[in-house]
Amino acid sequence: MSDLAKKIGLEAAESGGLAIYWLAQAGFVFKAHSKSIVYVDPYFSDVVEKTFGFKRMMPCPISPEEVSANLIACTHEHLDHMDTDALPIIARNPSTHFAGPVECVREFGKMGIPEERCHLLEEGKDVIITGIKVAAVFADHGELAPDAVGIVFDFDGIKVYHTGDTAYRPEAFRRAIEMKPDVLIPCINGRYGNMDAREAALLASACRPRVVIASHFWMFVEHNGDPGSFLGHCSELAPDVQALVMKPGERFLFEKL
């Protein structure tokens, strides 16, 4: 068993906090004080290289066979966010549920995941899945994924806003901003229509979370991403926000005030 699988299984989110682990790319794991475990946009395999020729530059610190989760949430159907090689393995656990926009739900069905364990995420709608509050919010990934969403999770009162893949659209982010997320996780790579490092810092300035964590960088050489620039822009544009760049498998404990 990998070190990360052991940590997620054994470590607790103390004092009503939230344990956050980065899997690389846009993938994160959240373990709440209630012991609920959620994965968002996990990319485990080499399916992107097999399909498009983009070689992964960071190994995933956990294998799909080791995953024990209440919920796997995908912001859109691209293979580095919805890993079609790995999710059927995870789905062998009958207690794991899956959520995503319409194209993801269709793919879940093709993987043989039972309908009752698949949940639709639609912009502007909130759902409760396995006791976890999930709000689908705006994302603009253009024609690449017209049904893409961002997600605001509410873990026992701690709100985490994962932007998914999106362009910078400050007016359209209004609903997510008004939810007052405690943690913001923006894409920063500035390719394929996504926000760049400066735009991610601007969103942090607008949201004013306690913590902002960079995502979507360095997985593929074609995708770019500059976490150093992100930290610099956050220092300038959102100086009151704690800006983080994590390493794969690293744990950050967000503590409730």
What digits encode the pLDDT tens for the residues 175-192? 999 999 999 999 999 888
Q: In this predicted model, what pLDDT tens digit does every residue of 8-35 receive, in sequence order?
A: 988 766 667 999 999 999 999 999 988 8
Give residue 96's pLDDT: 98
Q: Assess if residue 166 is contained within a domain.
A: yes
Which is more confidently placed, 145 or 67?
Answer: 67
Count of domains observed in the chain = 1
CATH of the domain at 136: 3.60.15.10
Residue 136's nearest CA partner among 94, 105, 110, 92 is: 105
* Residue 154: domain span: 3-247
Angle CA 165–41–19, to nearest 5 = 115
Residue 252 lies in a domain: no
Gap between the Cα atoms of 23 and 237, Å rounded: 27
Percent of the chain with pLDDT over 70: 98
For residue range 36-73, what is the model confidence (pLDDT) as tens digits?
999 999 999 999 999 999 999 999 999 999 999 999 99
Is residue 257, in this structure, part of any structural domain at all? Answer: no
**Residue whose structure tokens are 């498998």:** 249
